[in-house]
Copies of this chain bind each other. A is one copy, B any other.
């Protein structure tokens, strides 16, 4: 059955986002041409991630053990917690090399469309963690309506705790052009100006 296994692989690959039939076909024939072990380890990585992935019991990052690599790392600064919406945000921040504290993943955000419902975000757990000697909570939710609402909600929530709550800066992206900046960003960049 020629089309059996190849057609099956092509169809499986089209389940992935942004992978249409043509791309899936190209990928399938590329996989066919790869050394068997190299190709099979891609397949195994997909299966492994689904078999072993769970949330870190402390920060809700994705991990394959009780605590994620960051929470389990004794060299990290336990006094600083950076709050993000999704586990995928962590690696982006990690790559900057600037932050050496811990994270807290909300696994969502607060939406005005849900009437500001907070049931789906891990806020209770954040509040508990903050009680354990945390000095600063850095809110790195997205700079959009939901992220902003979430950031404001967290600031209110932590007000009585005495912990310092900060928000990542708004401004012009590096390498961009003022000429093409949108007004909202430019206004935020002006408001957030710093002495040099």
Chain B: CB-nearest residue to A56: B2
CB-CB contacts of A70-105 with B at 8 A, as 1s and 0s? Answer: 111000000000000011101100000000000000
Q: Are A63 and B2 within 8 A (Cβ)?
A: yes
Q: A45-B43, A49-B31, A53-B6 are in contact. Are A38 and B17 (CB under 8 A)?
A: no
- Chain A positions 36 through 66: 1 when the CB is less than 8 Å from some CB of chain B, otherwise 0: 1011111111111111110010000111110
Report whether B62 and A6 are in contact in the complex, using a CB–CB cutoff of 8 Å. yes
Could you say how many copies of this chain the assembly holds?
2
Chain A interfacial residues counted at CB < 8 A: 58
Main secondary structure of the interface of A (DSSP, over half): helix
- Whether B40 contacts A47 by the Cβ 8 Å rule is yes
A31 CA to B48 CA in the complex, in Å?
Answer: 11
Indicate if the CB atoms of B9 and A69 lie closer than 8 Å. Answer: no
> A88 touches which one: B12, B25, B40, B45 (CB < 8 A)?
B25
Least CB distance from A48 to B in Å reads 6
Q: Does A157 contact B (CB under 8 A)?
A: no
User: Do A28 and B3 touch (CB < 8 A)?
Assistant: no
Is there an interface contact between B42 and A16, defined as CB atoms closer than 8 Å? Answer: yes
Which residue of chain B is the closest to A38 with respect to CB atoms? B15
Residues of B within 8 A of A52 (CB): 5
> Can you report 23 residue pairs joining A to B where beta carbons are below 8 Å apart?
A2-B56, A2-B63, A2-B69, A3-B69, A3-B91, A5-B45, A5-B62, A6-B62, A6-B87, A8-B45, A9-B45, A12-B46, A17-B30, A32-B49, A32-B50, A32-B87, A36-B50, A39-B46, A40-B51, A42-B43, A42-B46, A43-B44, A44-B47
Top 4 closest A-B pairs, CB basis? A2-B68, A43-B46, A43-B47, A12-B45
